[in-house]
Amino acid sequence: MADTSQRSFRIFRFNPETDDKPYYQTYEIEVESWWTVLDALNEIKWFVDGTLSYRRSCRHGICGSCAMMINGLNDLACEKQIKLIRRNPITIDPLPGFEIHKDLAVDMDPFYKALKRVKPWLINNDPPPSRERIQSPEQFHLIGDGIACILCAACTSSCPSYWSDEEYLGPAALLKAYRYSFDSRDQGLGDRIDALDNRHGLWRCHKITNCFHACPKNLNPTEAISRLQRRVIEEKT
């Protein structure tokens, strides 16, 4: 027999087309013991209220679509097991710091634009060899955190520095800048420095470490930012 329980979900609702202001709507549903928060949202959308909007795709924590705030903390809905959440109702809000498209779907354009400002691609002007460039396992591990990022924006959206400065690159973009600038094959720090070395860049970070706590992949953008700061200082001296 399916092992089920009754849970309530108190969900942020806002449709800029029709609503003057946001409100919460509570849904009581029966959940199966193996469900994640995303399964519950799907149940609500498919069988209770089709007007609820949110993003999702892979439903196993790799595409980064479903980041949202669950009981006050940014997380991936598809990775959050309901049975591990004690509090009832479970309150769900959109990622803070972004405009709302509708309900839990926010406008991520500023986030992607910040990413592009750091030139997130390998910069190396030497002609490539006929085979792969050589990189040691240690050099590969050095950029490990940066390459595992799924761009869910949980970090940037949790950052008070980002809330107060919408021009700030934010931890995700800086982690990306780290990932390329510390790649043994890259020569592009000079090209990225304009974007990094200013008050909307590396120096806006105050080491609050919310990003580190918010990251569903357990990555550490704060540490990457510190290393990148040191590197930029070295580059200039």
Partner 1 sequence: MIHRHDVIIIGAGLAGSRAAVEIGKVADVAVLSKVYPSRSHSGAAQGGVAASLGNISVTDRWEFHMFDTVKGSDYLGDQDAIELMVREAPETVIEMEHWGCPFSRTEEGKIAQRKFGGHTLEFGREAALRACYSADFTGHVLLHTLHEQCLKHNVNFYSEFQVLSLIFRDGRAIGVVAWDMVHGGLHTFYGRAVMFGTGGYGRAFKITSNAHANTGDGLALVSRIGLPIQDMEFVQFHPTGLYKSGILVTEGARGEGGHLKNSEGRRFMEDYAPTLMELAPRDMVARAMQQEIDEGRGIDGEDKIHLDVSHLGEQRLMERLPQITELAMNFAGVDPRVEPIPIQPTAHYSMGGIPANENTRVTMDANRTEAVGLYAAGECSCISVHGANRLGTNSLLEALLFGRRAGKQIVEDVHDLEFPNLPPDYEDAARGEIEFIRNNRGGEKVGTLRGELQDSMMIDCGVFRTKEQLQKQKEKVAELADRFRHIQIDDNGDQFNTDLLEAIELGHLLDFSGAIVEGALLREESRGGHYRKDFPKRDDDKFLRHTLAWKRNGDWELTFEKEVVLKGVSHPGFEPKERKY
Residues of this chain that interact with partner 1 (CB under 8 A) are 15-18, 32-34, 36, 45-47, 49-51, 53-65, 79, 81, 83, 101-103, 105, 107-108, 112, 115-116, 119-122, 128, 131-137, 139-140, 143-144, 147-148, 150-151, 180, 183, 185-186
Phi–psi pair at 59, nearest 5 degrees: 50, 30
Q: Which residues contact 178 (CB under 8 A, 6 or more apart)?
A: 143, 145, 146, 224, 225, 227, 228
List the x/- string, 11-50, binding to ligand FES by CB under 6 A.
----------------------------------------
Partner in contact with 46, chosen from partner 1, ligand FES, none, beta carbon below 5 to 8 Å by kind: partner 1
Report the residue number, 33 or 164, with the smaller CB distance to partner 1: 33
Amino acid (one-letter) located at 237: T
Partner in contact with 164, chosen from partner 1, ligand FES, none, beta carbon below 5 to 8 Å by kind: none
Q: Which residues contact 134 (CB under 8 A, 6 or more apart)?
A: none
Distance CA(210)–CA(149), nearest Å, equals: 16
Coil, strand or helix at 69: strand
Closest distance of CB 154 from ligand FES, Å:
10
- Binding to ligand FES, residues 46-105 (CB under 6 A): 56-59, 61-66, 76, 78
Q: In this structure, how many other beta carbons lie within 10 angstroms of the beta carbon of residue 170?
A: 29
Report the residue number, 64 or 171, with the smaller CB distance to ligand FES: 64
Instruction: Answer for the pair 12, 94: CB distance below 8 angstroms, yes or no.
Output: yes
Distance CA(61)–CA(148), nearest Å, equals: 11
| Spatial CA neighbour of 161 closest among 152, 153, 171, 151 | 171
Partner in contact with 135, chosen from ligand FES, partner 1, none, beta carbon below 5 to 8 Å by kind: partner 1
Report the residue number, 64 or 97, with the smaller CB distance to ligand FES: 64
Closest distance of CB 69 from ligand FES, Å:
14
Give the total of residues touching ligand FES (CB under 6 A).
12
Distance CA(81)–CA(39), nearest Å, equals: 9
Residues making contact with ligand FES (CB under 6 A): 56-59, 61-66, 76, 78
